[in-house]
Amino acid sequence: MAGIESKKSAYRPVTISGPQRRAHRHFRAGHREQGAGSGVCTHCAGTGHSIVFSGRTHRKDFCAALLPLPRFSTRQPATVGSRGCCGPGACVGNRAQADVPSPRALAGSPQNPYKHGHGFNGERMYWSRTLIPTSREVPADADILSHQLMVRAGLVRRLSAGIYDWLPLGWRAMQKICGIMRQEMARVDAEEIQMPAILPAELWKQTGRYFDYGPLLFKLKDRKDTEMILGPTHEEIVTELVKACVSSHKQLPLTLYQIQQKFRDEARPRSGLLRVREFIMKDAYSFHSSVESLGKTYHDIFHAYVRIFKRCGVTAIPVEAESGPIGGDASHEFICPCAAGEDLIARSEDGSYAANLEMADRQIPADAGFPIPGADVSAQLQRVHTPGAATMEQVCTFLHVAPQQMIKTLVFVKSEADGGGFVVACVRGDHEVNEAKLRRLVGPVQLAEDAAARTAGFVIGFVGPHVVNHTGAQLVIDPDALAIVTAVTGANEKDYHVTNFNWITHLEAQHRGKAQVADIRNVVDGDKSPHGSALTLEKGIELGHVFKLGTKYSQALGAVYLDDKQQSQPIIMGCYGIGPGRIMVAALETLSDKDGIVWPIGIAPFEVLITPIRYEGQARTVADELHAQLADRGVEVLLDDRDQRPGVKFKDGDLIGIPLRIVIGDKGLATGQVELKRRTAAAPEMLPLENLAEQLVALIGQMRPRV
RNA sequence: CGGGGCGUAGCUCAGCUUGGCUAGAGCGCUUGGUUCGGGACCAAGAGGUCGCAGGUUCAAAUCCUGUCGCCCCGACCA
């Protein structure tokens, strides 16, 4: 405990003047080296990062790029003051951007140095002195791979349903992800802030979301009985903030973001860390005086997100998602294809089209509609008794027909504001109505309540399209349902269905005339994308979402600016979220192997694991030296100093998935070598002891994705 | 919220049907010893209000009722 205390107290800002002041704002006392000047970062060799330092600053052969936050183990006082500022990866990650990082990229958050960058540079970590509770047993309550691995590797521990402790390894990985997000957000001129997690319910009532969110909101009352909520997202709060601080178009555009805990009282937390009740989210909000400006920022952040996911080593496919009031391509989700995912996306074979299931369009024949060529109008409607068979499956079994021969008829009701009329939607028996598509076609609707529908003459469970003959409801038909020549469908009579249903004969002409024929169903495997290529459905994890909000919140909360003609205008907004925990889950789900985690280098809690076969004698000396050299070069390195048998260390090492493992044993040392085992490689390779640290630094640089 | 399942040691589980002696195993942990390149072995130990409350009974981990918690399927999920 004393160690923790002294660690905390070691954080103290130092005063640095000059242009690099922002970059150095959070340097801790302990950088004792004196002198001012400039030079080239030895760890970005070739990237040309210059370093500038003045007065009391850090060691001069490391560049100041990218959010340094050195930490020193107080257990190793001899090493304090000798650490570099940035890992090689941090610098290399910035390589493509420019020769010299923009001052923005160096910016920091004075309020929260702990959340700034990943901040693990220069630290010598020993396995025996941290907390890595690995386990051989698969936890009983974990049924997806990522969850099992996170618990077995000691990344997290469940405290309550959907609520987790983050242990050192997991938290380090989280901080790495957050560091990448901070760097990329800085590159698109987004500034970090921190809003409260406890919010007054009043603001949420003003936008109506207090009710829209319903039981998903964690609600509480303070001692004065004021209703509060735990924030599930922050549109209201950030809008209120900007409303108070921004009044002129000259202050726009503006992008703010935070990385913060969110709370949602999920009906059913599940899938380990995928759907949880308390989670970290990076949420960004942009503010504009024109739709064009919003479009530019949306584009910039979209591409920042592409870089973030790439640097994190996870696949993320941008897919079209339900767009808001702006319309067009106003919303994209970033989905990692993966069996454990909860979202469904449709992708075309040729890669030209990707959308979530809600949005995925398909090609329909240009001539779909009435009249229907080749329709058999001679067949007689047959009424058949189907007692109790109210579902598609029951009817199919009962009548021995395939669902492809059936018409599924669903009754929707329009919103009160829209007159509250009924809409009858017909799809083929094996298809599902896509409510989002239906809404885009006929306005706001929802599935009718049984009681209301029955009162209006709909025999729920036995409805057929011809119900519109006597109810006069609006009829919408999917082309595939229309294409069935003689169909089986409901008889509009309890416990009866009909066969030989035919759209021409059994639908009165006036209703035929008014019927809309349109794509109103979910796409299925094999459907043609709007570009003509075959679609495939796959599951995926939603990692991020970018969204053009428009003026929904600014209008509700009165956030306006004065334009150049002295006119008051609502601020145009966008919002952009990423779930870092989901990035981690996606990485674990898609990259792990039978032995455990395989971290991508960008988000690995450590880059190098040093495993002396026995931590004594020459192996110990070599291990300690390498440990110090790597740490001095900004490499994140963990030394397995435990008095354990090699097998245990290897198994644990594989399980926690550090990308590079250096094994130091008598075998290699006899020939002046150590063993390098890449986590992704089947076999180890031997490396000479000479310039070992430099070799590893170079290797790590090569392993990082270029963006 | 509907359906199903589970709460016994830090972890994974047995015991419950058919109530009964001091509640068990493996892993992990502690101590000593022997080992030491893929989760060692020997010996001795520590550790459990059997989720909680009430009831039935001479007697409850076991049967009954209630309650809390957790997991899975579904509904739901800016």
Q: Which of A166, A174, A199, A163 is nearest to A277 (CA)?
A: A163
CA atoms of A196 and A194, how far apart (whole Å):
7
pLDDT of residue A306: 98
pLDDT of residue A370: 76
Q: CA A458 → CA A14, A164, A391, A405, distances in Å?
A: 75, 48, 15, 22
Q: Is the CB of A137 under 7 A from strand B?
A: yes
Reported as half-sphere exposure (CB side, CA atoms, 13 A), residue A499 has a value of 12
**CATH for the stretch A382-517:** 3.90.960.10
Extended beta strands in A196-239, E state: 198-200, 218-221, 227-230
Q: Is the CB of A668 under 7 A from strand B?
A: yes
Q: Using the 8-state DSSP alphabet, how is residue A217 labeled?
A: S
pLDDT of residue A582: 96
Helical axes A168-187 vs A291-312, angle rounded to 10°: 140
**A164: β partners:** A158
pLDDT of residue A308: 98
pLDDT of residue A394: 81
Considering only CA atoms, give the Rg of chain A.
Answer: 30
**For residue A378, what pLDDT band results from cuts at 50, 70 and 90?**
confident
Average pLDDT (A282-291) is 97
Residues 6+ apart with CB under 8 A from A244: none
Q: Is the pLDDT of residue A180 over 60?
A: yes
Q: Which of A631, A473, A707, A694 is nearest to A82 (CA)?
A: A631
In residues, how long is chain A? 707
**Closest alpha carbon to C1' of B26, residue:** A137
**For residue A379, what pLDDT band results from cuts at 50, 70 and 90?**
confident
For residue A706, how many other CB atoms are within 10 A of its CB?
11
Query: Residue A421: exposed, middle, or buried by beta-carbon count in 10 A (0-12, 13-18, 19+)?
Result: middle
Q: Which of A671, A674, A706, A707 is nearest to A693 (CA)?
A: A674
Q: Is the CB of A545 under 7 A from strand B?
A: yes
**CATH for the stretch A608-703:** 3.40.50.800
Q: Is the CB of A281 under 7 A from strand B?
A: yes
Q: How far is the CA of A267 from the C1' of B2 (A)?
A: 13
Residues 6+ apart with CB under 8 A from A41: A47, A49, A50, A51, A61, A62, A63, A65, A86, A91
Are A233-360+533-585 and A382-517 in the same CATH fold?
Answer: no
Sign of CA dihedral A120, A122, A128, A134: positive
Q: Which of A128-132, A274-278, A503-507, A517-521 has the lowest mean pLDDT?
A: A503-507
Nucleotide nearest to A643 (CA to C1'): B36
User: 């570099």: which residue's tokens?
Assistant: A84
Q: Using the 8-state DSSP alphabet, how is residue A117 labeled?
A: S
* pLDDT mean across residues, chain A: 82
Higher pLDDT, A595 or A329: A595
The set of strand B positions with any atom below 7 Å of a protein CB reads 1-2, 11-13, 26-28, 35-40, 69-78
Q: Is the CB of A230 under 7 A from strand B?
A: no
CATH class of A233-360+533-585: alpha beta
Q: Is the pLDDT of residue A261 over 70?
A: yes
Q: How far is the CA of A644 from the C1' of B43 (A)?
A: 20
Q: Is the pLDDT of residue A181 over 90?
A: yes
CA atoms of A110 and A130, how far apart (whole Å):
28
Q: Which of A29-33, A351-355, A494-498, A548-552 has the lowest mean pLDDT?
A: A29-33
pLDDT of residue A686: 97
Q: Is the CB of A207 under 7 A from strand B?
A: no
Q: Which of A216, A199, A335 is nearest to A260 (CA)?
A: A199
Q: Is the pLDDT of residue A67 over 50?
A: no
At A304, list the tokens: 């920042």
Q: How far is the CA of A215 from the C1' of B1 (A)?
A: 11
Q: How far is the CA of A641 from the C1' of B34 (A)?
A: 22
Q: Is the pLDDT of residue A417 over 80?
A: no
**For residue A440, what pLDDT band results from cuts at 50, 70 and 90?**
confident
Average pLDDT (A12-29) is 30
CA atoms of A266 and A537, how far apart (whole Å):
26
Q: How far is the CA of A585 from the C1' of B5 (A)?
A: 26
Q: Is the pLDDT of residue A605 over 50?
A: yes
Q: Is the CB of A449 under 7 A from strand B?
A: no
Q: How far is the CA of A143 from the C1' of B7 (A)?
A: 18
Nucleotide nearest to A342 (CA to C1'): B77
pLDDT of residue A453: 84
**For residue A630, what pLDDT band results from cuts at 50, 70 and 90?**
very high
Query: Residue A462: exposed, middle, or buried by beta-carbon count in 10 A (0-12, 13-18, 19+)?
Result: buried
Extended beta strands in A349-440, E state: 354-356, 382-385, 407-414, 422-428
Nucleotide nearest to A158 (CA to C1'): B70
Q: Tell me which residues from 157 to 186 on chain A have a beta carbon below 7 angstroms from nucleic acid strand B.
A: 158, 160-162
**Closest alpha carbon to C1' of B35, residue:** A645
Contact A406, A427 (CB under 8 A): no
CA atoms of A272 and A145, how far apart (whole Å):
9
Q: Which of A239-243, A266-270, A296-300, A693-697 has the lowest mean pLDDT?
A: A266-270
**A424: β partners:** A411, A475
CA A302 to chain centre: 13
Q: How far is the CA of A652 from the C1' of B48 (A)?
A: 29
Q: Which of A20-24, A323-327, A577-581 has the lowest mean pLDDT?
A: A20-24
Q: Is the CB of A89 under 7 A from strand B?
A: no
Q: Is the pLDDT of residue A684 over 70?
A: yes
Q: How far is the CA of A639 from the C1' of B44 (A)?
A: 33
Average pLDDT (A242-247) is 97
Higher pLDDT, A229 or A122: A229
Q: Using the 8-state DSSP alphabet, how is residue A409 labeled?
A: E
Q: Is the pLDDT of residue A539 over 70?
A: yes
**A547: β partners:** A331, A575
At A197, list the tokens: 């997690």
Q: How far is the CA of A130 from the C1' of B77 (A)?
A: 37
Amino acid at A360: A
pLDDT of residue A70: 32
Extended beta strands in A115-253, E state: 124-126, 156-160, 163-166, 191-192, 198-200, 218-221, 227-230
CA atoms of A618 and A509, how far apart (whole Å):
94
pLDDT of residue A524: 93
Q: How far is the CA of A314 from the C1' of B38 (A)?
A: 29
Contact A428, A407 (CB under 8 A): yes
Sign of CA dihedral A225, A230, A233, A237: positive
Average pLDDT (A86-105) is 34
Q: CA A297 → CA A189, A300, A559, distances in Å?
A: 9, 5, 19
Q: Which of A579, A662, A668, A569 is nearest to A623 (CA)?
A: A662
The full set of domain ranges for chain A reads 2-88+102-132, 233-360+533-585, 382-517, 608-703
Extended beta strands in A289-368, E state: 317-320, 331-337, 343-348, 354-356
Q: How far is the CA of A264 from the C1' of B41 (A)?
A: 51
Q: Which of A96, A89, A108 is nearest to A313 (CA)?
A: A89
What's the complex ipTM? 0.95
CA atoms of A422 and A438, how far apart (whole Å):
13
CA A476 to chain centre: 36
Contact A478, A427 (CB under 8 A): yes
Q: How far is the CA of A167 from the C1' of B74 (A)?
A: 33
Contacts 24+ apart (CB under 8 A), A412-420: A412/A438, A412/A445, A412/A446, A412/A447, A412/A448, A413/A445, A413/A446, A413/A447, A413/A448, A413/A449, A413/A452, A413/A453, A414/A442, A414/A443, A414/A444, A414/A445, A415/A443, A415/A444, A415/A445, A415/A446, A417/A444, A418/A443, A418/A444
**A252: β partners:** none
**Which tens digit of pLDDT belongs to each residue from A100-131?**
333 333 333 333 333 334 556 678 999 999 99
Backbone φ and ψ of A17, nearest 5°: -105, 170
> Omega before A88 cis (within 30°)?
no
The SS3 call for residue A348 is strand
Q: Tell me which residues from 565 to 584 on chain A have a beta carbon below 7 angstroms from nucleic acid strand B.
A: 577
Q: Is the CB of A261 under 7 A from strand B?
A: no
CA atoms of A93 and A43, how far apart (whole Å):
12
At A115, list the tokens: 């959340």
Amino acid at A663: V
pLDDT of residue A620: 96
- A170-179, A401-410, A479-488: which has the highest mean pLDDT? A170-179
Q: How far is the CA of A218 from the C1' of B66 (A)?
A: 27
pLDDT of residue A54: 32
The SS3 call for residue A29 is coil
Average pLDDT (A660-682) is 97
